[in-house]
Structure 1
């Protein structure tokens, strides 16, 4: 096997990192918008924003999974500041999703909207 086949190419790596950053960043923005509209009592819109955020977060997670698959297939994945930044964004957004869901649920209960 030549080195080209045993490592993720720099251009591919950058593309995957930027996908992770873009999708997780947009997901974070959608979650912030969901919280904003939840505070106004527009729970339907808040839920729609969270659903969109979840879809975007799944896309970011799928891009990250591609790196894991490449490494599992024996292709070397070089660590870089860009990859660290991408992973940091992804993990922060995943944590934010968990906290936002809980906060929105609490907010709805405080406003008298009992959840099923």
Structure 2
């Protein structure tokens, strides 16, 4: 029975890791799209796309939080390269979304001239 629980925990951990990678990648792609929309003057589309990026980023962050809660309860698996990779994707996506906000603001000001 113990082995079955360990296998389920590993599967759940892998699902969370993959969710972080996918959601973070999607958030980054949406942030890049938002910047491109702002660059060509589509401010409303840029803002809406950035909101979608942040919503998807929240999903990735929620998966990370679940993993952190499991670890705090001493219910965790060995940290793998895949786990580290997921954290790299998440941090990159967060950075892109933060920078996208600034780029959209800058392009908005430039497009008014």
Q: Could you tell me how far 1:77 is from its partner in structure 2?
A: 3.4
Counterpart of 1:16 in structure 2 is 16
Change (3 A) 1:62 1:95: same
Contact 2:38–2:104 under 8 Å retained in 1: yes
CA root-mean-square deviation: 2.0
The answer to whether the 8 Å contact 1:23/1:60 transfers is yes
Q: Would you say how many aligned residue pairs link Structure 1 and Structure 2?
A: 112
Query: What TM-score do you get using the length of structure 1 for normalisation?
Result: 0.87
**1:112 pairs with 2:98:** no
Residues 34 and 90 of structure 1, relative CA distance in 2, 3 Å threshold: same
Q: How much does 1:3 deviate?
A: 7.5
For the pair 1:81 / 2:81, whether they are aligned, the reply is yes
Corresponding residue for 2:35? 35
Indicate the structure whose relative CO is greater, using CA pairs within 8 Å and at least 6 residues apart.
2
Range with greater deviation from structure 2 (33-42 or 83-92): 33-42
Offset from partner CA, 1:47-103 (integer Å, 9 cap, x none): 110000000000000000000000111212321011011000000110111111111
Structure with the higher helix share, 1 or 2: 2
**Could you list the runs of 5+ residues in structure 2 that have no partner in the other structure?**
none
Q: For residues 45 and 58 of structure 1, what CA distance do their matches in structure 2 show?
A: 20
2:101 equivalent in structure 1: 101
In 1: Cα distance, 2:40 partner to 2:98 partner: 21
Distance 1:3 1:65 in 2: 25
